[in-house]
Amino acid sequence: MLSSKIINLNEKEGILKDYFGSQRIIFPIFENGKIISFSGRTIIQNVEPRYKTLVCPFSSKVGVFNCSILKSNPKKIYICEGIIDSLTMIEMGFDTIGIIGTKVFGKENLDIFAGYSGDIVLLLDTDSNESGKKAARKIASLFHSNGMYNIYAKYIEKPELSNKMDINELYLKNKSIAFAIISGLPQIKMEVEEIEKKSTNSNRSLNKKDFDIVREISKIKELKDESSSKMRCCCPFPDHSDSTPSFVVYVDDNRFKCFGCGRSGDTIEFVKEYYGMSFKDALSFLSNQ
């Protein structure tokens, strides 16, 4: 506890002091089986901040709550804001990850999603000032920049229930209604912005999904069919000595995953990694073929 700084020794007074103070529930945040941070949720009304966070000195990020759910590779996961809402969603039977505030969720949190191919549904607080929707767009953009496009959002917008939609408050009012509302909300696709490339011949609008991953990898390694939608080969990346075919290409999704070195992504990500290019250069490389 001392090494994590959750308690501190006051040498002058000869006492231990709790970083979080009193009247908070403390949740440890795990990643790869180790605690990387703590989140303290107040149990007193009208106390701000509701959450107080401590990043351990031996860690570099806040992390997310319940990331271990990704190991089972569910077809769909929900992302909520805050641990209490996440626990409520889990209680209702939804596979859910909790982010410790939308402002602290960044690119450093995306590595835990490597290899996940299911849908990600953002179910954030819908505030009157539209901050929840802005946060959903920001987080969706982060996933898009990492080659993940199955990103959706749901918004609880029922004025007769509350001005600020809180999943836990809704659940406490009526569990069955809360489940019905969340299940029945429309799932809105968070669209990938199209990237325009200017060439000497013409202006062309490109979508990241347009590039054929089978074509690119076949230039380097021979792919063998495993099923109608899946192909396999030994990992083409030179720093991975792969004696068994652990590199899988998902043809329909234009994505790859190496179960040996852990790399994954779309065609652009493959070109970036393999040739050591920037995103812009990889996009130019692919679009000029």
Could you tell me the domains of the chain? 7-55 (no CATH), 64-189 (3.40.1360.10), 201-287 (3.90.580.10)
The predicted pLDDT at position 122 comes to 95
Q: Encoding tokens for residue 202?
A: 């013409």
64-78, 145-159, 192-206, 230-244 — which is least confidently predicted?
192-206
Q: Encoding tokens for residue 1?
A: 């506890």
Q: Residue 38's pLDDT band (boundaries 50, 70, 90)?
A: very high
Q: Is 149 exposed, middle or buried (0-12, 13-18, 19+ CB in 10 A)?
A: buried
pLDDT tens-digit map of 129-149:
577 788 898 999 899 888 888
Q: Which amino acid is at 277?
A: M
Neighbouring residues of 119: CB distance < 8 A, sequence distance ≥ 6: 75, 76, 77, 150, 151, 152
Greatest alpha-carbon pair distance for the chain in Å reads 76
Which of the pair, 71 or 126, is modelled with greater confidence?
71
Q: How high does pLDDT run on average in the chain?
A: 84
The predicted pLDDT at position 199 comes to 32
